[in-house]
A and B are shown apart, each in its own frame.
Chain A
Amino acid sequence: MNVPENLKYTNDHEWALVEEDVATVGITEYAAGELGDVVYVELPEVGATVAKGDSIGTIEAVKTVADIYSPLSGEIIEVNGALNDNSELINKDPFGEGWIVKIKLSDSSELSELLSHEDYKKLV
């Protein structure tokens, strides 16, 4: 199971790549594998304010549907529009081209609450 070292994780199987005050967020390879073939991704509005733990969208796979929970609080500044036509990017490249949103962080103290890659590896 691929769990990149440079990312932070949640118990709900999201990942966050934090660069200065912006976090790029997606779901992990484990989560994508559990969901199976992703068919639609419902993305939030750019400009929306979200709190850590809020549902910011949904992922519809053939057999199941899952919420995407925001790993951090802040403002949605970008969504991955490529997922509208190519939702399978989440299966093909969950840590790269399958990213979901970018969040401008409002509370950097929340970062310490995320899991390291070692901790996340233990979870899956």
Chain B
Amino acid sequence: METDKQTPFYQQHLALGARILPFAGYLMPIQYSGIMDEHRAVRNTVGVFDVTHMGEFVVKGPDAEAFLNRLTVNDVTALDIGQVQYSAMCYPDGGIVDDLLVYRFKDHYMMVVNASNIDKDYAWAKENLLKGVELRNISEKTALLAIQGPDSFAVLQKLTELALHNIPFYHFVEGELAGFPMLISRTGYTGERGFELYHDPAHSVRLWDALFTAGRDYDIQAVGLGARDTLRLEMKYCLYGNDIDQTTNPLEAGLSWITKLNSGDFIGRDVLLKIKENGPERRLIAFEMKDKGIPRHGYRIFAGDSEVGVVTSGTQSPSLNIGIGLGYVRSEFSRLGAELLIDVRSKKLKAELVKPPFVEARTV
């Protein structure tokens, strides 16, 4: 068996006393001071996430745009140079291969995919490659830090001459930060303002140190995958493997907004058109616990006595101090305000179907 890889920040995690677990082939920090504390740091000030485990593919060639437009459900032709797009790849049956980001550069594109799906996604992209399009997996050569929170701009601005406020949400620039060349992307998975910094792993440690020095006055904190999950869940951002996978399609997952059924053919489009016509049989809904209890992945959802669905993600919301969750329920039970019952270890606890996000996004 292949041993788990260390990211370039591994020693930094150890020095901070992180709890480290293998995740998607990497030894990743799950938490440092505690999930609640780290979560609040991102909501209130600024946090730094090592997300080097994410996968990056470069797509190049005259037909790169056509290839990506067929591979992904969103409309790649709508992308400007310097813009980022949230998207997904589907199988012909509409099941989701992965959700991803697509970056448009002057003469190429970059796909950013989930860590646990890198091999699968690469094989899928390769299988569907158009002639003359070059596909290169640069995941091993790319380190990634996310800096997220209301003070992220202030901290990062100390380290670069670039005017960060001129980078709109879901856009990026290539430039120098802390003296190193990098891709500065105005993206994130937290619902807060922030950036993601793609860079050469050779510079990782010095970048980390520069960030923590610059962030000292802002109480900058390292944040692990535990709080990354509670932060994204408060936004109802989908997590592949929990809320979406090959057995779910983008329409039932609430991803119609990225699924452009009228902008050219893509893999899975035929099936999705039919699903759209009839309406999905189930929908991914967001709910808040009314009783004291925490919903978790796999718990059953009831409406009265009938079982109507299953929880895909759940946690105690550190911002709201109540249990929150996502789950699929049969569409007729997906009305806002409906009362649901969550089977929490054989106790049926009350929950209310709510309009996401659970906490207001402050990304812009």
Contacts and interface: CB of A to CB of B under 8 A. Distances in A.
28 contacts: A36-B31, A36-B34, A36-B35, A37-B35, A37-B36, A37-B37, A39-B294, A39-B316, A40-B292, A40-B293, A40-B294, A40-B316, A58-B345, A60-B293, A60-B294, A60-B316, A62-B35, A62-B226, A62-B294, A62-B315, A62-B316, A63-B226, A63-B229, A63-B315, A65-B294, A65-B296, A65-B345, A91-B34
A60 B345 CA distance: 11
B146 to A, nearest CB: 20
A73 to B, nearest CB: 24
Contact of A62 (B36, B292, B293): B36
Given A36-B226, A39-B294, A62-B230, 12 more contacts: A36-B31, A37-B35, A37-B37, A40-B293, A60-B294, A60-B316, A62-B226, A62-B316, A63-B315, A65-B294, A65-B345, A91-B34
Interface of B: 31, 34-37, 226, 229-230, 292-294, 296, 315-316, 318, 345
A50 B37 CA distance: 36
Contacts of B31: 36
A108 B296 CA distance: 39
Interface string A61-79: 0110100000000000000
Interface residues of A, number: 10
A70 to B, nearest CB: 18
Q: Which 10 A-B pairs have the closest CB atoms?
A: A39-B316, A37-B36, A62-B35, A60-B294, A37-B34, A62-B316, A37-B35, A36-B35, A63-B226, A62-B315
Nearest to A63: B226
A62 B19 CA distance: 15
**Interface-central residue, B37, B230, B294, B345, by most chain A CB under 10 Å:** B294
A40 B349 CA distance: 14
A106 to B, nearest CB: 27
A39 B316 CA distance: 7
Interface in A9-43: 36-37, 39-40
A60 B35 CA distance: 14
A62 to B, nearest CB: 5
Nearest to B39: A62
Contacts of B35: 36-37, 62-63
A73 B147 CA distance: 51
B351 to A, nearest CB: 15
Nearest to A62: B35
A43 to B, nearest CB: 12
Nearest to A58: B345
B17 to A, nearest CB: 11
A3 B294 CA distance: 30
A39 B345 CA distance: 16
Contacts of B315: 62-63
A91 B31 CA distance: 15
A123 B37 CA distance: 29
Contacts of A63: 35, 226, 229, 315
Nearest to A40: B292
Nearest to A34: B19
A91 B35 CA distance: 12
Nearest to B321: A39
A75 B37 CA distance: 37
Contacts of A65: 294, 296, 345
B298 to A, nearest CB: 12
B250 to A, nearest CB: 27
A45 to B, nearest CB: 15
A62 B318 contact: yes
B48 to A, nearest CB: 20
A36 B227 CA distance: 11
A114 B35 CA distance: 32
A59 B226 CA distance: 18
A8 B271 CA distance: 62
B215 to A, nearest CB: 23
Nearest to A39: B316
Contacts of B345: 58, 65
